[in-house]
Amino acid sequence: MLKLYIGNKNYSSWSMRPWVLLTQAGMAFEEVKVRFDSFAAGSSFRQTVDAITPTGKVPVLLDNELVVWDTLAIAEYLAEQFPEKNLWPQDKAARARARSVCAEMHAGFTGLRSNCPMNIEASLPEVGALIWRDKPAVRSDVARLVAMWQGLLAAHGGPMLFGEFCIADAYFAPVCMRLKTYALPLPHDVAAYVERVFALPAVKSWVEGALAEKDFLDFEEPYRLKP
């Protein structure tokens, strides 16, 4: 059976992507959660993860003795191993576009990711308002997301970015979490897409798991004090 190593569901945006993909696609796998106690060498987290991957990071997918790390590599491996799941769009042009936007997310949007870390249990609209006012990189990233999502929804007719759920929607699910947590301003059609992502059974299950953790980690909390 596939085994997926992940971090805290409340904070680990990278872990969320393959977990949502596997779950929404109905693929059986074993979840192994490795708590973020610290990322320093010698921490319990690093000792566990270093034993299975040279990167010392999650997520990591194990398929028997085969180890796959990095979210894009995991997504491509799953698409290759389970072609019947249609994890990428079937149309060649749409598939190339889906790969392109996932790669863009993988390598970019650093303003949004650095200033608005994923924190599902938090509600930080006041912080979001200040970030929106003071961080042009965040405004630029959100403008790019809006243009991208509007274009894809218009081209493929929704409800997901390429019509039916695919890797791209799983890849942008953590972005939807950020947009919601910080209440960043969105046009109606993009806000509606965010709500549809939240309504996906796999995303709902991940969010429920995140809310159940109740594991406040100071080093993941730039905007809140420990209750």
Kindly state whether residue 28 falls inside one of the protein's structural domains.
Answer: yes
**Contact call for residues 184 and 128 (beta carbons, < 8 A):** yes
Kindly state whether residue 223 falls inside one of the protein's structural domains.
Answer: no
Task: Give yes or no: residues 106 and 196 share one domain.
Answer: yes
- Mean pLDDT to the nearest integer, 57-67: 97
- Mean pLDDT to the nearest integer, 2-28: 98
Task: Give yes or no: residues 99 and 194 share one domain.
Answer: yes
- Mean pLDDT to the nearest integer, 71-93: 98
Task: Give yes or no: residues 97 and 195 share one domain.
Answer: yes
| pLDDT attached to residue 11 | 98
Predicted confidence band at 200 (pLDDT cuts at 50, 70, 90)?
A: very high
Task: Give yes or no: residues 24 and 119 share one domain.
Answer: no
Task: Give yes or no: residues 188 and 98 share one domain.
Answer: yes
- Mean pLDDT to the nearest integer, 63-87: 97
Predicted confidence band at 204 (pLDDT cuts at 50, 70, 90)?
A: very high
| pLDDT attached to residue 201 | 98
Task: Give yes or no: residues 81 and 96 share one domain.
Answer: no
- Tens of pLDDT, residue by residue over 137-160, are 999 999 999 999 999 999 999 999
Kindly state whether residue 225 falls inside one of the protein's structural domains.
Answer: no
- Mean pLDDT to the nearest integer, 86-109: 97
| DSSP codes joined into one string, the chain | -EEEEE--TTT-HHHHHHHHHHHHTT--EEEEE---S--STTSHHHHHHHTT-TT--S-EEEETTEEEESHHHHHHHHHHH-GGG--S-SSHHHHHHHHHHHHHHHH--HHHHHHS---TT---HHHHHHHHHH-HHHHHHHHHHHHHHHHHHHHH-SSBTTBS--HHHHHHHHHHHHHHHTT----HHHHHHHHHHHHSHHHHHHHHHHHHH----GGG-SS----
Kindly state whether residue 227 falls inside one of the protein's structural domains.
Answer: no
Kindly state whether residue 224 falls inside one of the protein's structural domains.
Answer: no
CATH code assigned at 34: 3.40.30.10
Kindly state whether residue 226 falls inside one of the protein's structural domains.
Answer: no
Q: Does position 63 have pLDDT exceeding 90, yes or no?
A: yes
Task: Give yes or no: residues 105 and 32 share one domain.
Answer: no
Task: Give yes or no: residues 141 and 167 share one domain.
Answer: yes
Task: Give yes or no: residues 196 and 213 share one domain.
Answer: no
Task: Give yes or no: residues 100 and 66 share one domain.
Answer: no
Task: Give yes or no: residues 141 and 170 share one domain.
Answer: yes
Kindly state whether residue 104 falls inside one of the protein's structural domains.
Answer: yes
| pLDDT attached to residue 227 | 80
Domain count, the chain: 2
CATH code assigned at 124: 1.20.1050.10
- Mean pLDDT to the nearest integer, 20-26: 98
Show the domain range for 172.
92-200
For the chain, give the mean pLDDT.
97
Kindly state whether residue 7 falls inside one of the protein's structural domains.
Answer: yes
Percent of the chain with pLDDT over 90: 98
Task: Give yes or no: residues 122 and 195 share one domain.
Answer: yes
Q: Does position 135 have pLDDT exceeding 90, yes or no?
A: yes
